[in-house]
Structure 1
Amino acid sequence: MQPIKSRHIAFIVDIRNWAFDNVARSLCTKLQAHTQCAILYWEDFSNPALLLKHLSEQQFDHVHFFFREHLKLLLSVVDGASSHYRRFVGMAVSTHVPDYLYSNHLELLDRAALFKFVDGYFTTCRDLHELYCADPVVADPDDVIFDWPDVPVVDTPVDSGTRPFTIVWSGNSKWGESAGFSDYKGLNAIIEPAVQALRRRHPGIKFVCCDSAVSSTPREQLLDILQEADVLLIASVQEGTPLTLIEAMGCGCAVVTTDVGIAREVLPASQQFLIIDRDPQAFEQALETLISDQNLLRRMQRDNVQAYTVHFGPNSPLLAKWVSFLNLAYQRSQQDGRVRKEAAGARRMGWFTRNLITGFRSAARLAQKLNLIKPIGRYVPGAAVLYNRVIHGGTGSSVDYERLAQYYERQLERSEQAGLLVVYAPMWRGVAASTEALFEQESLRFPYSDQEFPEVRKHVYLEALIEQLRNWRHPIVYSGGSVLHIELSERLRRVNPQLRQFFAWHGSPAQWVEPSHRAHFDLWRKQYDSGVIDGIITIKPGLNRILERLGINSWDMFNPIPDISSVLGQAPRQSDKVQVGLFSAISSWYKNPHVQALALAGRDNVVLKTNLDQEQLTNLELGVRGVEFYPMLPRTEFLRLLDGLDVNLYVTNTECSPMSALESWALSVPCIVGPAGDVYSAVSPRLGELLVEQRVDDPDAISRRLDLVLTHREEIVALLQSYRTVYMQRYEEKRVQLVAALQAYQK
């Protein structure tokens, strides 16, 4: 094995005796014969500048961050001109990606500077590796290196013949709530219902729940529990490396798990059929199989021990992988590390933001010392979300369009094959969600980031995009339309007079009472009158006929039920309370938020989940069981929140083709709408009868409609599932007709 080039390595982990710490301790033990290494705890440094000072004074030459967000925060708040920072950029700096947090396109865009700063990074599972390789914003990971905790391997799994069949779940049931996730680990919706159903047939089974959200279980105690257990359950939405999976294998415990992280890569062949859907019935059936076939159970337990030895034992490839990775990062740091880091790092925040972050971190440290974290979470449910938002997001992003050129080239190739290009601005999230659902293969983000304001005439990538589209042969649709899109359409018309261009209008004339909406439409009407665009597509069915009477070439379209394959619908209901959603992208009369909120007055069994203004809603004193406030979430996190609802409210005054109702439909969540948002009646009159409230300005009518929906909820869910295909058949036919009409259009 090659020697490690770094002489003194610091592993930065979050807190003591937690997952990162366990892995880092194990790693230090395995590397101690090759180099000097130490673990530094982020919680010990009240200010990132103090961490830099310590690294400099102790003369570390390589720093590896177990949680990349710590490095992101450090680069945001430290003084790039300080002597300690200058020494820091001379060190090798690396990190790894052990989870799916902050891994969608927009979140990676906000972290592009971080990944450019580091000298190397890896992921802990193949799926994460492919995800990061596919994204044009960041460099490809260097490797896949599994987490490597120390586990005392059992020689022979314990025979359960003399004790109850024992099932274990271990994790944090509240994980991810600060980032907008709900029951991410699946304890409430998957594990407990499966165990309860199993107990009706096998009352003697034992269920051990080690939930760190309730009380912490020391690792040594957890390993003892696993050695005595028959099966470990994992029901997470996603994982990089579930450490309990590795620990269970070494302890001779069978595993029933969702398809997460390294499960398929490390579990033996005999275990593969127990990688199952995230569904309580699937878990119940898997457990029934193991209870009824003890020979199968014993074989799996033995196979797991052997598989652990192969993948994580002393002769596994992990030590060589770590040595190779550390050397590669060190080599890069010596080649161009200082210049690259100085160009990419230390995005200095303003005084206010810097001190706000420092204040939040100090307050969190004090709350932890006083054991106030759980009481604060219970009585102020939005506190963790706000903390997460301040610390990890919303500070703006530096978009590297030189790197994004790969994205634009790839998307234009896809659009070339589809015969249509659809340009949209992701800052306007409602339009963005609709565009991505309607034209997934053909859509092009411009600007790329949802942090870039599109109502401007100039952009750093405008000239390059015009050049790429100079000889474009297919129709271009500007979905939603912005001032930047008007500039693009005018410039393209001048260089390519035969180009066919269209505007997709996601608005309604009812919105014209607000001058900004009328002005927006008038801008694009002017583009039509001057010959820049050739027609208008309206996402409000039937409105095209009125536009035709105005002498405007027009077509209509409606939104699809989106494919939400990454979010499983129909989590079991909690009988003691009703989860109601009320979300609005803007606070406007046509979204009708306050009337809908008043419909919940006095319902002491309702928990309202909403993004409405907290102060205004609190002042209403609705008298509901609870109100949970959420920030503007990334779409994936919002869908997971939506998935946990019993009913969603979207009773608006005017709509086109409401994505909120359609996303609810995709998750089989009943969504009450007004007549303008009726997506149901055309395919199922019964759904329209149950879910469409005619009196949108009457809170009592909406309240009675809610009672009706709750009474008929099972019927509604069955109808939503049954008529989904019918709706999508209508949509596909309409979409084919629209695309064909645009492609056949002759100037």
Structure 2
Amino acid sequence: MDADRIVQLFRQQIDNLTKQERDILAITHCYWLGVKHATQELFESVIDIEELNSYEQVVEIGTMILEAHVKKVVFSGFAAGWNTLCSYLKQQQPNIQITIFWHGNTTHMYEEYSWVRHYEIIQLAKDHHIDQLAFAKESMCEVYNKLGISVIHLKNHVKKKDIKVEYANRDSFNPIAPIQIGIYASGETWAKNAYTQIAASSLFHQPQISLIPSNDRMISFAKQLGVTILNHAMRLSREALLQQLSMNRINFYVTFTECAPLLPLESLNQGVICLTGNNHHYFEGHPLKNWLVVEEMDNAPAIYRKAVKALEHEAEILSLYEEWYEENEKQVLESLKQI
């Protein structure tokens, strides 16, 4: 995408915002779907762009933001070139409030792209070109607060949609009946723990799995373990993903490292239990942690046993989630007031 095209798309999006919608503007990356969806759940006014490759782009986009009289800008995720945009905005309008909403954690420092962005963010804080740093992962706040940076915890949230009638009422779990399991973990990186989750699914009596995203090795591994693959895909639209989540009896998202993943909440919102790894702040101090959080993420039988126990108490868990959802929603609204 050339520079003019990037600027043109930004102009189209900001021109569509009303005066009231321009008070707080969230900017996110058009291709980072998880971050983009999280941003859209939290903020009313969201513009998605990509990397900025020239100072001319920075000036044109920065000028549009200033001319729109935006009071607060939230960079949700942080792409190459956005640091220059932050500096430009502060230099032109010192009173504009800039927040960087970082969806990553210290694990991502192994990735070159994340490492460079992290360096840029720290430099922006030192130069006073941002006002605060927000984290999706609660534990990150303590680390960066010690550096003297103004930090806040923004809690992720997924607004509820209507549960489809055909999936709203299910029979009780039958351990000797076929079971449909969703596994939503990339097989391209160890961190997503895809193969252990496939192995866990194989311990059910007649497992049928949905693999999204999938690759040839994941498919071969599932077949080696005698697991039936109902469907698989590299990617789906969010609407199609939600539909797929709702069709499963249980979903697995037992990964090694996360911040505040949306998928478990998307699944539970659909009335489908979802197991997770012990790597996020969801359900802290709540009974749901004992039901849904797997302590031994690399132990397939442990995942299986946790899944069976959860399925045997499905109604209780979904009732507890309703309670947790309402409280979390209140906390999300409170956390947004910090912007």
- What's the TM-score once normalised by structure 1's chain length? 0.41
What SS is found at the alignment partner of 2:309?
Answer: helix
1:516 is aligned, of 93, 96, 113, to 113
1:717 is aligned, of 318, 321, 327, to 318
The CA distance in 2 between the partners of 1:407 and 1:514, in whole Å, is 31
Aligned partners of 1:561 and 1:724 also within 8 Å? no
- Is residue 606 of structure 1 aligned with residue 218 of structure 2? no
Instruction: Give the CA deviation at 1:409.
Output: 1.7
The CA distance in 1 between the partners of 2:93 and 2:164, in whole Å, is 43
Aligned partners of 2:214 and 2:234 also within 8 Å? no
- Is residue 476 of structure 1 aligned with residue 79 of structure 2? no
Alignment of 1:229-248 (within 5 A): none
The CA distance in 2 between the partners of 1:508 and 1:602, in whole Å, is 33
What SS is found at the alignment partner of 1:695?
Answer: coil
Structure 2: any 5+ residue segments left out of the alignment? Answer: none
Instruction: Give the CA deviation at 1:534.
Output: 2.3
The CA distance in 2 between the partners of 1:601 and 1:530, in whole Å, is 53
Q: Corresponding residue for 2:239?
A: 636
The CA distance in 2 between the partners of 1:729 and 1:534, in whole Å, is 25
Q: CA RMSD in A?
A: 2.7
Higher strand proportion, which one?
2
2:198 is aligned, of 597, 622, 625, to 597
The CA distance in 2 between the partners of 1:467 and 1:556, in whole Å, is 29
Q: Corresponding residue for 1:689?
A: 290
Q: Corresponding residue for 2:30?
A: 426
Instruction: Give the CA deviation at 1:530.
Output: 2.4
Alignment of 1:126-145 (within 5 A): none
The size of the alignment, in residue pairs, is: 329
The CA distance in 2 between the partners of 1:571 and 1:415, in whole Å, is 36
Alignment of 1:10-409 (within 5 A): 405-409=11-15
- AA matched with 2:62: I
What SS is found at the alignment partner of 1:555?
Answer: strand
The CA distance in 1 between the partners of 2:10 and 2:91, in whole Å, is 26
The CA distance in 1 between the partners of 2:186 and 2:216, in whole Å, is 17
Structure 1: any 5+ residue segments left out of the alignment? Answer: 1-397, 448-453, 740-747
- AA matched with 1:410: N
- Is residue 415 of structure 1 aligned with residue 12 of structure 2? no
What SS is found at the alignment partner of 1:599?
Answer: helix
Q: Corresponding residue for 1:41?
A: none
Instruction: Give the CA deviation at 1:573.
Output: 4.1
Pair 477,609 (structure 1): closer, same or farther in 2 beyond 3 Å: same
Per-residue Cα deviation, 1:358-396 (whole angstroms, up to 9, x for no partner) = xxxxxxxxxxxxxxxxxxxxxxxxxxxxxxxxxxxxxxx
The CA distance in 2 between the partners of 1:567 and 1:705, in whole Å, is 26
The sequence identity of aligned pairs, in percent, is 21
Q: Corresponding residue for 2:135?
A: 538
Pair 639,680 (structure 1): closer, same or farther in 2 beyond 3 Å: same
- AA matched with 1:529: K
Aligned partners of 2:183 and 2:198 also within 8 Å? yes
Instruction: Give the CA deviation at 1:431.
Output: 0.8
Per-residue Cα deviation, 1:254-306 (whole angstroms, up to 9, x for no partner) = xxxxxxxxxxxxxxxxxxxxxxxxxxxxxxxxxxxxxxxxxxxxxxxxxxxxx
Instruction: Give the CA deviation at 1:435.
Output: 0.8
Per-residue Cα deviation, 1:50-76 (whole angstroms, up to 9, x for no partner) = xxxxxxxxxxxxxxxxxxxxxxxxxxx
Q: Corresponding residue for 1:245?
A: none
1:618 is aligned, of 208, 219, 227, to 219
- AA matched with 1:519: V
Pair 474,565 (structure 1): closer, same or farther in 2 beyond 3 Å: farther
